[in-house]
Amino acid sequence: MVTNFWVTALAAVAVVLIAFAVGASRQLHRVIDIAWGLGFSAIAVTTFVLSSGHGHPWQRGIVTLLTVIWGVRLSAHIYLRSRGHGEDPRYEQLLSKAKGSRNAYALRMVYLLQAAIMWFVSLPVQVAQYDPGRPSWWLAAGVAVWAAGFFFEAVGDYQLARFSRDPANKRKVLDTGLWRFTRHPNYFGDACVWWGLYLIACGSWAGAATILSPLVMTYFLAGKTGKPLLEKGMEERRPGYADYIRRTSGFIPWPPRKA
């Protein structure tokens, strides 16, 4: 498994270096967001190959399939959403701090940092594939949580994309569908996906020990680069957002409060 950790780290770095080459050539570093899901997929597939003869075939296949489905869908969604747009304001703000080459700064502070996060968050996916035991109820529980999370993320993204395409909704707030129960159904779903993959890994003590991985992902989604950055300045851009905040759960789905 130690060899697997080294090789998957190299796989994550390879994905982000390809993304960096594209981003630097186009001066559009938001390309790393497209590579995010593909990086996790590459780690899962690499582990699937290296764990042959070690882990249970069914568990290896299911964990890899779930990770790849999640990663490819997310990357495709971000690619379609970002076509024709300029640099992401988050990266523009970050790169404005560069004292030298913006590309070199982006490589250190965006690409390689995200490669490290990819590798760490994916530890349950890697460890679960080396579990030689027969799949247990942990597998069923993990798949159920993953499915719920995938539903919230995919449906939430679809509802937001459909809402945004209508010019009549400019400066309006999406507060229907899943967005009626949480201001970030896609981020909540993303967190659930990784808690589901963690539960699958809990069939072994080594897998249970990777609990920091889903905790880190949830922290970034709910408290660091996800929800807080997205909501920054939203009240100025969308007049009804302050009221939306008052009546709608910030992360975990919950019935809306009455006005």
User: What's the pLDDT score for residue 130?
Assistant: 96
Tens digits of per-residue pLDDT, 33-43?
Answer: 999 999 999 99
Q: Is residue 187's pLDDT more than 80?
A: yes
Where is pLDDT greater, at 45 or 136?
45
- Taking each helix axis as running N to C, give the angle between helix 137-165 and helix 185-201, from 0 to 180 degrees, rounded to the nearest 10: 160
- Helices 185-201 + 212-219 axis angle, to 10: 170
Report yes or no: 181 and 155 within 8 Å, Cβ to Cβ: no
Record the pTM. Answer: 0.93
pLDDT at 233 over 80: no
